[in-house]
Chain A
């Protein structure tokens, strides 16, 4: 295998892993605060279509990515009001958010089907990416670097920052955190909004970086894989990085096998691979842990201040 090809494959892996990583880290923070938001897929779709719409109309993909974060955070705010203020069931509300995001994105995106947009491509000057190895370091979209930075930032926040400690306390025991005087709902609101913004950014990666176009259901279930990766990662940012890149590898294998004319399996088998791999990974991690002992204790429970 030539160096060029190897570098190309590794770069594809990073590309496939980045949206999973960013959305997954967002959901990880949300779940650490004790909230289960199953609407990641819907928020990603809203981010993808908003990013695309703003990038095409302004010609500025960066503005598209920022708008994607804002729009998805807005969608997350609907979820937050329902589950935090109105104490609605988190599973049902998350599903509703995904159904909503799928519909709204298709509605907004209808006029944009079939056109292309300026992409959020590599940021470093071309001179730096002359050789394959340099390309591996400097040749990515800014979001790839952001994903790596975010991994560190979330780790630092959860393990070294006082605010992160409070967030974890709220997720482990909302009543105790409330009794000490921490604003449980405020912390959870902020976490859900952050998770929404990250899901939106991850969604915009699909429409602004991977494929500069919009299609209905563009994210194809990747939001759900990101949620599964949070379980796989045992709610640890470092493991989330490993998990996302592992899945990036699985998805790249699918593409490479197709490109190489590798036809021992039907193309449908390869297309089903990421989903089967997700189930397999969940089974392995659950067998090892028996039901995710690391899950935040208050995950999915409504909180109502009683005093």
Chain B
């Protein structure tokens, strides 16, 4: 059931989505076909899928490590913005220079920028006990204002006809294409590398073990000597660093400059990706492709059948709803009424959790 739940959730989303959109006066079946089927048969869209899945996967992997340890970083959107801004800062400072050292420096700055933004909720949580959900979320709104300020003022391109955006990055400051002639940039293989690294680290290192134990059995973790504060710091810095990394990859990749339209909600969608991927880095790669499909298909459905852009968000949220609903099938076994008479003591153990392990990771 562990792996079946996401599949059931996606299937239910398609089914209920078709009904819902028909009731709302749209072509429900057509919408499902346009969003979830048609892009799969269009090779040009495959590139688009990979390019959109890459940032989602990178952010979601970072969030998942925290979610496993019950550290709820909801601030990925802001960390993504700050990562993009930090890398952009490097790019603007090196605009007249050339050299292959510039891009790695930008990427490093992006990671550090995301980490720095995540430091705030981490410090508030560990020093004062401030709820990290609320503080990290509030910082998303602050990050957007920092972006607007920089675009409107200090970082505005002086040659840009007064548009609130930076100068275009130079060729040394943009991600190279891994397959010439396509949209597939360096961020795509990097996302796969991040997933593999995270998978190995979570499976093979003490720190990976710590994140899992703290989430599954906080008391045992404390007895085992895993500090609550160090867990928060690791979760926040990894989550923030990866969100920042995704941010600068987007800025130096598809955008090629910094613009006010930079935040596209990936930081929120990545939460859905993390859960749909079962908080497992490899599962997240698959889930990121599914969510990328809703973006790519949603965009084409806008032009072909006039489906509103908001439909994408509805489908994404429905997926998470259905996933959370089917999770009970992971944690509990269905027992027919006759086999388990109500209140009979014997039935209790039968109905008891079968796969409590992973299920608990999503139980508060």
Most buried by B among A110, A272, A283: A272
* B142 close to chain A: CB less than 8 A: yes
Report the bound CA distance from A4 to B206 in whole Å.
Answer: 66
Report the bound CA distance from A268 to B145 in whole Å.
Answer: 5
Contacts of A166 in B (CB 8 A): none
Chain A interface mostly helix, strand, loop or mixed? helix
Q: Are the C-beta atoms of A99 and B268 separated by less than 8 Å? A: yes
Report the bound CA distance from A269 to B152 in whole Å.
Answer: 13
* B43 close to chain A: CB less than 8 A: no
Q: Are the C-beta atoms of A82 and B134 separated by less than 8 Å? A: no
A239 to chain B, nearest CB (A): 17
Chain B interface mostly helix, strand, loop or mixed? helix
Q: Are the C-beta atoms of A91 and B139 separated by less than 8 Å? A: no
* B60 close to chain A: CB less than 8 A: no
Task: Choose, from B176-184, B217-225, B246-254, B304-312, the stretch at the interface.
Answer: B304-312
Contacts of A301 in B (CB 8 A): 364
Q: Are the C-beta atoms of A82 and B324 separated by less than 8 Å? A: yes
Most buried by B among A220, A225, A269, A275: A275
* B148 close to chain A: CB less than 8 A: yes
Per a CB cutoff under 8 Å, which of A93, A103, A287, A306 touches B324? A93
* B163 close to chain A: CB less than 8 A: no
Q: Are the C-beta atoms of A92 and B275 separated by less than 8 Å? A: yes
B-contact bits for A203-230, CB 8 A (1 contact / 0 none): 0000000000000100011001101100
Query: Which size class do A's interface residues fall under?
Result: 35 or more
Contacts of B131 in A (CB 8 A): 231, 282, 286, 292
* B44 close to chain A: CB less than 8 A: no
Report the bound CA distance from A90 to B331 in whole Å.
Answer: 15
Contacts of B309 in A (CB 8 A): 106
* B95 close to chain A: CB less than 8 A: no
* A102 close to chain B: CB less than 8 A: yes
Q: Are the C-beta atoms of B324 and A96 separated by less than 8 Å? A: yes
**Which residue on chain B has the smallest CB distance to residue A41?**
B137
Report the bound CA distance from A10 to B131 in whole Å.
Answer: 31
A-contact bits for B54-71, CB 8 A (1 contact / 0 none): 000000000000000000
* A266 close to chain B: CB less than 8 A: yes
A-contact bits for B316-338, CB 8 A (1 contact / 0 none): 11101100110110010000000
Q: Are the C-beta atoms of A88 and B328 separated by less than 8 Å? A: yes
A28 to chain B, nearest CB (A): 15
A164 to chain B, nearest CB (A): 25
Indicate whether A96 sits within 8 Å of B321 (C-beta atoms), given known contacts A89-B364, A268-B152: yes
* B343 close to chain A: CB less than 8 A: yes
Q: Are the C-beta atoms of A92 and B313 separated by less than 8 Å? A: no
Report the bound CA distance from A146 to B240 in whole Å.
Answer: 42
**Which residue on chain A has the smallest CB distance to residue B361?**
A89
B-contact bits for A104-148, CB 8 A (1 contact / 0 none): 101110100000000000000000000000000000000000000
**What are 7 A-B residue pairs whose CB atoms fall within 8 Å in the complex?**
A86-B324, A96-B321, A269-B149, A272-B146, A279-B134, A290-B128, A291-B129
> Interface of B with A (CB < 8 Å)?
24, 72, 74, 120, 124, 128-131, 133-135, 137-139, 141-142, 145-146, 148-149, 152-153, 268, 271-272, 275, 308-318, 320-321, 324-325, 327-328, 331, 343, 348, 362-364
> Interface of A with B (CB < 8 Å)?
36, 38, 78, 81-82, 86-93, 95-97, 99-100, 102-104, 106-108, 110, 216, 220-221, 224-225, 227-228, 231, 266, 268-269, 271-272, 275-276, 278-279, 282-283, 286-287, 289-292, 300-302, 306-307
